[in-house]
Each structure stands twice: as structure tokens, then as C-alpha cells.
């Protein structure tokens, strides 16, 4: 026998039949809530050109420097998408979605890939749902994004989260702040991690997102962007806070929140949960008013968020929230002998046409084994058919929950399910 090949230890996971109902339930909730918000679904390819992700997410981000799965085929360079904001913006530009009029309110569900060190809540293939609203710079769009994000957790019953909020400013405010930040960091530059030293000239704000231990002391005491916002960014942020207050969405201001991608401008937010371990970020997002232009479109403001679906499901487990119903089937045909099997496969389609779920044994097993299987499948009824039953026309219908049996003709059985 050949040696088995497994991939779990690499941070890639199978979603097994026992788990898929909760995934389906979660996806249904997302689709239903998205419809209520009038968001439209977008699906983009798993592969994107490396250049798009480098330009979109940022050359000096952890994602681009350490985490992308990249490969070359012919003379093209591809990555497995690590996130969907840049790809959705690419699709928006490529297909001139702006011409449909108004702001484009898009949502998505799907797998992403990052070559991070796997641990609980951190996989190399994980799933996100998210929203991108492209075309509006109004704080209403920021708040609708946040409201949708929170609505999903509330509907599921996850209440224990903290919304962290910041403004990372517009280009003018950021340029001003970058100089202040550099002046502050410069005297201790040699004490910072190598990664942060590399980021110092080109992208000093990225240092604030560093996870390196030697940087933490300097990050903690760094000047904050909030003190260097211009009037426009301050006004925008104040209005976002005002609208969140109106909706009774509570938040904590976190002046050091910069997020892991370079595209953010003005609003930035993160949702964390104490029900998760060290990977406590449930979701994150913000405004990215320069990205559409960066990717080749007209200057167009936008805002969005994405949420980790595995992390949401981990929180459900911690809180003992059950998503999705237990598997079950309406009727299990227990067939004994070939004639009964032929009758069985014909009868299955009659039930299914009536909208009744129906299954039968495929292995020619004994009656006892088939009844055991019907139990395992959580069948509501078993219909027992052997050669005798076919001759007399009287079948045994067993109510599995109540352990009651009736002798009925097939027409009576079908009639019972029809009513
Ligand atoms: P992000 O913060 O990188 O943002 O990811 C969003 C969420 O995806 C995280 O909060 C986390 O729940 C989940 N996540 C990220 N990496 C992993 C991983 N390795 N394993 C499991 N879950 C993970 C974005 O991706 C932005 N595109 C969000 C956005 C949309 N900003 C504007 N629009």
C-alpha cells in the first residue's frame, strides 16, 4: 500500500461532511443579510497577477514580502489571492462597473491564501466574507459596511466583540504625520528590527503594524496620526463616529491602528473577540480612496471590510452556538433482494419529485444493517420492501422516532407524504 499523503500540517484543511452544514448555514446568513442591505455578489478568480497584489496591497507589507504564494507560468507571474479588495477593484476597473451608476455595493465569500505560520485561527487557506462599496466618500458608506459586518455576528449570537476604530488620514495628513513619525523614530533607528529599519524611509507608518518584539516599546509611545489630521479628515472621522453612535454601535478609538495593507486612507477598523485566542481579529477593513486610481481607474473613493470565516466558526464553538441543522433524510428505503432494489430506485425519484428527501442502501446489506444505517442517517421514516411485500403490495412504513409501524400500499405512503 502506498504511503498516505496528508496536507493538514501545511495549514490547508478539508471541510468534511459533518462540518459542511455549518458552513452552508453561515453562507446562507451572509447571502440573506447581503440581500437586505442590497449588496450584489461578485466572484473573481483564485489567481491574480502578482503585479496587482504588489501594487494594491503594498510592496512592503507582510503579505507581499512574506506571505504570498507566487509562481510563474510562461512569462506571466501569478499569486493565489491573499485578499479580495485589490481583485474586486481590478474587476471594477476592468469591467467599467462604475458605469452602472451610483456606488457599487459588492460582497463576496471565498477562499484566500497566505503563507503564514499555521496555528489555531491562522491557516494558509482560509475563507473570508466581505464587502466593498466603491464610488462614495460619504461616511454613510463606512458605517453601512460596519453595520453589515456587525449584523452578521449579532444574528449568529456572537455579542462579545470590540470594534476598534481609527482614521489613518488622507495623503496630505499622512505626509505630515510621516515626517513627525520619522523624527520620533530616527534617534532609535538602530534599535528597531531590520524589517522596520527597511520600512523607515519608504513607508514609516507600516512600522506601527510591526509584530517584532524589539519594536513594540517604540510603537507604544509613538505620536499618533489623530493629532495630525487635516480638517477634512477630522470632519469625515467625526461624522463616522456620530453615525455609529446613532446606530448604537459601540467602538473604541485606537490611535495606533494602521492595518496590514498600504491602501487604507481615513477610516480604519478592526473587530476583535476575546472568545478567540491569540488570533483575535474577527474582521477588519477601512476606506481606500486611492486604490481605484492606483490600479488604473478614475479617482474613485471606496470602503470595505473582510471577515475570517474560520475565526467566526471558532467563536461559535467557544460559545456553543450551533449553526446548521443535523443531517437527516425524510425516508430510507430498506430493500431486500434485486427486485426490491429495482423498485426502490424507481420509487426514490417519485419521492424526490414531491420534494421529499429519500435514499436507499447501495450495498445489498441485511435488513438489520440497513435499519442501523437508516438510524445513522437520522431518517424520519424507513420503508421496508422485500419480495413478499412486492407480491402482496403491502409495505411496512416505520416511523423511526416513535418506533411505530404501518402496513400501507405505495399509493397510501405517497399520499401520506403529499399531505
Ligand atoms: P485582513 O485584516 O487582512 O483584511 O483580513 C480580514 C480577516 O481575515 C481577518 O480579520 C481574519 O479574521 C481573517 N484572516 C486573515 N488572515 C487569516 C489567516 N491566515 N487565517 C485565518 N483567517 C485569516 C483584508 O483582507 C482586507 N482585504 C479587508 C478589507 C476589505 N479592507 C477593505 N476592504
CATH number, domain of 395, equals: 3.40.50.800
220 Cα to the center of ligand 1, angstroms:
23
Model confidence band, residue 384 (pLDDT cutoffs 50, 70, 90): very high
CB of residue 56 inside a 6 A radius of ligand 1: no
- For residue 122, pLDDT beyond 80: yes
> pTM of the prediction?
0.94
Domain contains 100: yes
- For residue 348, pLDDT beyond 80: yes
CATH of the domain at 87: 3.30.930.10
**Residue 296 to residues 64, 86, 229, 280: CA-CA distances in angstroms?**
20, 12, 27, 35
Same domain, 305 and 336: no
- For residue 419, pLDDT beyond 80: no
What is the per-residue pLDDT across 149-163, written as a single tens digit (0 to 9) for each? Answer: 999 999 999 998 999
Given ligand 1 and candidates 85, 168, 281, which is best to mutate, with the most ligand atoms within 8 Å of its CB? 281
Domain contains 221: no
**Of the candidates 318, 346, 361, which is a domain's last residue?**
318
CB of residue 398 inside a 6 A radius of ligand 1: no
The total domain count for the chain is: 2
Same domain, 310 and 364: no
Same domain, 310 and 250: yes
**Of the candidates 318, 340, 368, which is a domain's last residue?**
318
Same domain, 166 and 260: yes
Same domain, 163 and 257: yes
Same domain, 351 and 308: no
Domain contains 2: no
Predicted pLDDT of residue 269: 98
Mean pLDDT of the residues in the chain: 95
What percent of the chain has pLDDT above 70? 99
Same domain, 140 and 53: yes
Domain contains 4: no
303 Cα to the center of ligand 1, angstroms:
14
Strand arrangement of the beta sheet that strand 358-360 belongs to: 358-360, 329-335, 379-385, 395-399, 404-408
Same domain, 312 and 385: no
Residue nearest to atom 21 of ligand 1 (CA): 122
Same domain, 256 and 398: no
Domain contains 248: yes
Ligand 1: which atom is nearest the Cα of residue 271?
A: 10
Ligand 1: which atom is nearest the Cα of residue 285?
A: 31
How many CB atoms sit inside 10 A of residue 171's CB? 12
Same domain, 154 and 251: yes
- Beta bridge partners of residue 133, listed in sequence order: 105, 303
Same domain, 278 and 338: no
CB of residue 331 inside a 6 A radius of ligand 1: no
All cell numbers assigned to 233: 479628515
- Beta bridge partners of residue 272, listed in sequence order: 162, 281
Beta strands in 149-295 (DSSP E): 161-167, 252-253, 267-273, 281-287
281 Cα to the center of ligand 1, angstroms:
8
Domain contains 405: yes
Domain contains 309: yes
Using CA atoms, how far apart are residues 143 and 228, in angstroms rounded to an integer?
23
Domain assignment of residue 236, given as a range? 20-170+230-318
What is the per-residue pLDDT across 196-251, written as a single tens digit (0 to 9) for each? Answer: 999 899 889 989 988 899 999 999 999 999 999 999 999 999 999 999 999 999 99
Same domain, 247 and 391: no
CB of residue 262 inside a 6 A radius of ligand 1: no
Amino acid at each position: 500500500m502506498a504511503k498516505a499523503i496528508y496536507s493538514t500540517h501545511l495549514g490547508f484543511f478539508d471541510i468534511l461532511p459533518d462540518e459542511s452544514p455549518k458552513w452552508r448555514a453561515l453562507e446562507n446568513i451572509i447571502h440573506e443579510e447581503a440581500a437586505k442591505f442590497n449588496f450584489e455578489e461578485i466572484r473573481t478568480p483564485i489567481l491574480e497577477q502578482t503585479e496587482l497584489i504588489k501594487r494594491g496591497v503594498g510592496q512592503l507589507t507582510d503579505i507581499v514580502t512574506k506571505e504570498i504564494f507566487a509562481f510563474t507560468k510562461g512569462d506571466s507571474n501569478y499569486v493565489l489571492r491573499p485578499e479580495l479588495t485589490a481583485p474586486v477593484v481590478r474587476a471594477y476597473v476592468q469591467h467599467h462597473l462604475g458605469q452602472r451608476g451610483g456606488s457599487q455595493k459588492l460582497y463576496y465569500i471565498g477562499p484566500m491564501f497566505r503563507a503564514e505560520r499555521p496555528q489555531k485561527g491562522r491557516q494558509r487557506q482560509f475563507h473570508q466574507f466581505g464587502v466593498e462599496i466603491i464610488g462614495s466618500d460619504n461616511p454613510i458608506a463606512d458605517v453601512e459596511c460596519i453595520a453589515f459586518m456587525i449584523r452578521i455576528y449579532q444574528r449568529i449570537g456572537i455579542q462579545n466583540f470590540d470594534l476598534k476604530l481609527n482614521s489613518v488620514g488622507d495623503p496630505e495628513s499622512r505626509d505630515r504625520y510621516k515626517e513627525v513619525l520619522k523624527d520620533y523614530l530616527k534617534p532609535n533607528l538602530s534599535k528597531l528590527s531590520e524589517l522596520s529599519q527597511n520600512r523607515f524611509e519608504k513607508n514609516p507608518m507600516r512600522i506601527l503594524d510591526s509584530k517584532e518584539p524589539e519594536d513594540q516599546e517604540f510603537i507604544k509611545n509613538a505620536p499618533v496620526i489623530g493629532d495630525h489630521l487635516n480638517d477634512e479628515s477630522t470632519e469625515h472621522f467625526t461624522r463616522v463616529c456620530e453615525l455609529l453612535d446613532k446606530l448604537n454601535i459601540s467602538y473604541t478609538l485606537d490611535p495606533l491602528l494602521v492595518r496590514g495593507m498600504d491602501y487604507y486612507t481615513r477610516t480604519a477598523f478592526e473587530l476583535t473577540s476575546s472568545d478567540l485566542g491569540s488570533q483575535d481579529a474577527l474582521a477588519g477593513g477601512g476606506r481606500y480612496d486611492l486604490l481605484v486610481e492606483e490600479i488604473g481607474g478614475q479617482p474613485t473613493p471606496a470602503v470595505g471590510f473582510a471577515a475570517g470565516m474560520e475565526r467566526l466558526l471558532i467563536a461559535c464553538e467557544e460559545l456553543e452556538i450551533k449553526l446548521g441543522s443535523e443531517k437527516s433524510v425524510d425516508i430510507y428505503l430498506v430493500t431486500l433482494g434485486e427486485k426490491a432494489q429495482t423498485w426502490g430506485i424507481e420509487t426514490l425519484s417519485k419521492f424526490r419529485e414531491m420534494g421529499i428527501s429519500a435514499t436507499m442502501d447501495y450495498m445489498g446489506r441485511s435488513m438489520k444493517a440497513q435499519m442501523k444505517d437508516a438510524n445513522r442517517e437520522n431518517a424520519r421514516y424507513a420503508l421496508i420492501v422485500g419480495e413478499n411485500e412486492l407480491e402482496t403490495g403491502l409495505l411496512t412504513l416505520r416511523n423511526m422516532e416513535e418506533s411505530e409501524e404501518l402496513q400501507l400500499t405505495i399509493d397510501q405512503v405517497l399520499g401520506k407524504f403529499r399531505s
